[in-house]
């Protein structure tokens, strides 16, 4: 993956998906002492996941256009 935007988008999507669908972030926040923030994670993580997925799609489309030209 030479495209920096695609690499960033894929990494961001994986991290956001791990935090959304696993107790990884909840456990980490509990250890650090910020477990009161857990109730608000859905308001941040779901839109972040959606944004990173859209950036990934955009980067893939841009990459496909550059390789066919």
**Element (DSSP H or E) covering residue 64:** helix 41-68
Domain range enclosing 14: 4-68
Query: Which among 60, 48, 9, 32 has a CA at the least distance from the CA of 24?
Result: 32
Distance of CA 24 to the CA centre of its chain: 14
Do 15 and 65 touch, CB atoms closer than 8 A? Answer: no
pLDDT in tens, 12-68: 888 888 877 777 778 888 898 888 888 888 788 889 889 999 999 999 998 888 887
Domains contained in the chain, number: 1
In angstroms, what CA-CA distances link 28 with 37, 41, 56? 11, 13, 27
Query: Global pTM?
Result: 0.73
pLDDT of residue 57: 93
């Amino acid at each position: 993956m030479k495209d920096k935007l695609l690499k960033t988008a894929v990494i961001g999507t994986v991290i956001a998906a791990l935090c959304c669908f696993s107790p990884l972030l909840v456990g980490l926040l509990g250890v650090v002492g910020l477990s009161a923030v857990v109730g608000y994670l859905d308001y941040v993580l779901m839109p972040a996941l959606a944004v990173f997925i859209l950036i990934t799609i955009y980067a893939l489309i841009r990459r496909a256009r550059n390789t066919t030209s």
